[in-house]
Chains A and B, each alone.
Chain A
C-alpha cells in the first residue's frame, strides 16, 4: 500500500518578503513527492499555527532571512504548545548562523537548514525523522 504523502507547511513568519528560498525548497519537497502548502508572505505566528491546524500538516517549515529566527522560533513553539500541536515537526531554513543552531534545537526545532543546504538533506531529514517519530 502506498503511504500517504507527507504534508509540509512552508511558512514565512514576520514582515520579511524575501521568498526565493522558501519557494525553491517548496518546489524541491514537491518534487520529492511531498504535499506542500505555502502560507505566502507576512504571516504572524498565530496565522501559521491556524493554517497548520486547519491543514493538519505533518511538518512546519519556517523560512527566516531577517535574523529574527531565535525570537520567532521561541514564539512559535510557545504558541504551538498552547494550541496542542507542539508534537508536529518544525524545521527552519534561511540565514542562520551555525552558532544559533544549538539554541534553536533547545527551543524545540528539529532541523535547521541554512541557505545552501542540499535539497536531498532536507528531504531525507524529514522522511527519516517522521518515520522514527
Chain B
C-alpha cells in the first residue's frame, strides 16, 4: 500500500517522496549523505552483535537461528484451538500465539450476559484452568514458547498458563510464555482495557516482577508499537510511543527496588510491518539502536544481552484489503521481507483473509509457508543485515533515529506518556492522522492496489469463518460443570486471599496462581480487580 506522499511533475516523473514519518527521500544517495547525517561505522553500526546492535543482536544473525514463526491463532472453544495449534506445529510452526475471545480479554465469563454473542467469536474462550488444560494438551510446553495476546487480564492468563504447565508436570522455570501485558497501548488502540491507568500499570509491573524469580524463561511484557501504528501513528511515532511505554513499565518495577539488569532483558517488542518497505527496515534498525542506547545511557544497564531489542515484527493487518484478497498473500511476503531485513527474532503474518475474518486452516498455512519460503529458499539466512552500508539505508536509519527522538521529546515535554494517554492526547493525535490518511486513500493520493488502482469492479464475495452458535452453549456447559465439580472451599479461600492482596497493594501474581489452581474463573478474579480498582474512563474524541 502506498503510504508515502509522491510529488510528480507534468511528465509524471517523481520529484519528491515524503515518507509517513516526515522524511524526504532523494533520487539517489552517496557518501556525502552519510557525511551529512554524521554516520560513523563504530558509533552507528558496529559489527552484528556489537553495541548499538543496529545490524543484529546476535553476531551470527539468522545463521545461528532462524526467526521463530508464530501465527496468531485461536477461536471457538479450547478444543478447536488445540486442534489448530497442532495443525500449525505439524506444519513446522515454532511458536504459538493465542488469540482470546472478547469476553476473556475483558475479564468476563462465558455465561455473563454481556458475553452474549461473543463467546469464542474472535478468539478462544477461556473461563478456568480446565480450558487451558484442553488448549495445551499434547503440546510440549518445555519446547514451544507461547504468546498470550491478552493485556488487561494478562496477569490472570499468565497465572493460568503456569497452573496448566504444572498440571502437565512442567517446572515453571522451563516454560516460556509471552503475555502481551501492554495495557497503555490498549488505551491508545485496540481498546481491550478495563482498569484505570494507575492500577493497570501496576498489574503490568506485578507480572514483570513475579516473572523474575518464578518464571525466568517467560517474557513478561511484549510492548506493542503494533496497535499504535494500526490506529494511525507514523512509524516514527510507533517506536517513540512504544519506548516511552516500555520505560513507564521499567520505572514501575524499578520503584519496587529491583536492579534494571534483573528484569529488562526479558522485555520484548511487537512492531508493525506495513507501509513503505525502506521506512520499515530503517525503523527496525533505528529502533534496535535507540533501545540499546536508552537502556545503556538512561538506565545504566550493565549486561550487554539485556540491551537487546527482541522483536516480533509482523502482522500488517491495516495494510490488507478486502478487495482482491489474494493480493494479501503477496503483501504478506513483502512485509515478511521487511521484517527479515529488519532483523526480527519472530515473524508472524496476518493471513490473506484476515482483513475480514478468522483465517481458514489453508490461509493460516499459506502465511506460515510464506515465512518458511523466505527463510529456506531465497537466501535470507546467508549473511547478517545484508543492507548494511547502503548509502540510502544508513542515511535513512539515521534520519529515522532523529525522527523517533523528536516524537519522543514532544511527549516528554508535555509531561510524559502516562498523562498523554490518560488525557487522550495520543488517541486524538493518531485518530486525526488516521482520518487524514483515509481521505488520502479515498482521493487516490495513496495508491492501494485493488482499491483505488487496478480495481476489478464489484469485489467477489469471500468465504468467512463460520461462527458456530453451538460454541457458546458448549463452553457454558463446560463452565457450569467446572463450577459444580471444583472444591468450593478452595475457591472461596483463594479468592478471598486475592481480594485481600489486591486491596493491600501486594503483587497479585502468587494469589492468582492459587486461584487458577482452584479453578476460580476469569470472571471471578477480574470482578475482584474491578471492585477494587474501578474502570478506566475513556477520554473524549475531540
Q: Please report A residues at the B interface, Cβ cutoff 8 Å.
A: 14-20, 23-24, 26-28, 30, 36, 38, 40-42, 44, 66-68, 71-72, 95, 97-99, 114-116, 118-120
| Inter-chain contact total with CB atoms closer than 8 Å | 90
The reply to whether B431 and A27 form a contact with Cβ atoms under 8 Å apart is yes
Which of B169-177, B432-440, B483-491 makes up part of the contact surface? B432-440
Report if A38-B190 is in contact (Cβ < 8 Å); known contacts: A15-B106, A66-B102, A68-B117. no
Given contacts A19-B191, A20-B230, A41-B538, 20 further A-B contacts (CB under 8 A): A15-B103, A15-B105, A15-B115, A15-B192, A17-B190, A17-B191, A17-B192, A17-B193, A20-B231, A24-B431, A36-B541, A40-B538, A41-B191, A42-B106, A42-B191, A66-B122, A67-B357, A71-B116, A72-B117, A97-B462
Q: Mark B445-479, 1 if CB is under 8 A from A, else 0.
A: 00000010000000001101001000000000000
Is the Cβ of B434 less than 8 Å from the Cβ of A66? no
Task: Indicate whether A119 sits within 8 Å of B461 (C-beta atoms), given known contacts A18-B190, A71-B117.
Answer: no
Note all chain B residues with C-beta closer than 8 A to A23: 431, 434-435, 541
- Which residues of chain A are near B117, meaning CB under 8 Å? 14, 68, 71-72
List 6 interface pairs A-B (beta carbons < 8 Å), by A numbering: A27-B431, A36-B541, A38-B541, A71-B117, A116-B321, A119-B439
Pairwise interchain contact B118-A14, C-beta atoms closer than 8 A? yes
Q: Are B538 and A24 in contact (CB under 8 A)?
A: no
Q: Is B214 an interface residue (CB 8 A)?
A: no
Q: Give Cα distance in the complex from A18 to B434, angstroms.
A: 13
Is the beta-carbon distance between A16 and B102 smaller than 8 angstroms?
yes
A97 lies within 8 A of B102 (CB): no
**Nearest 8 pairs of A and B residues by beta carbon:** A17-B191, A15-B102, A27-B435, A23-B431, A40-B538, A38-B541, A71-B117, A68-B117
Give A26 to B540 CA distance when docked, in angstroms.
Answer: 12
Whether B189 sits at the interface, judged by CB under 8 Å, is yes
A98 touches B461 (CB 8 A): yes
Most chain A beta-carbon neighbours within 10 Å: one of B193, B232, B541 = B541
Chain A residues whose C-beta falls within 8 Å of the C-beta of B14 in the assembled complex? none
- Contact of B435 (CB < 8 Å), options: A24, A41, A95: A24
Contacts A19-B191, A98-B461: A28 and B435 contacting too (C-beta < 8 A)? yes
B398 sits at the interface (CB 8 A): no
Docked pose: A15 CA to B322 CA in angstroms: 23
Least Cβ–Cβ distance between A64 and chain B, in angstroms: 10
CA–CA, A99 and B439, complex, Å: 27
**Is B253 interfacial (CB 8 A cutoff)?**
no
Q: Which of B191, B192, B323, B432 has the most chain A CB within a 10 Å cutoff?
A: B191
B258 close to A (CB within 8 Å):
no
B356's nearest neighbour on chain A, judged by CB, is A95
Q: Assess whether B461 is in contact with A99, with CB atoms less than 8 Å apart.
A: yes
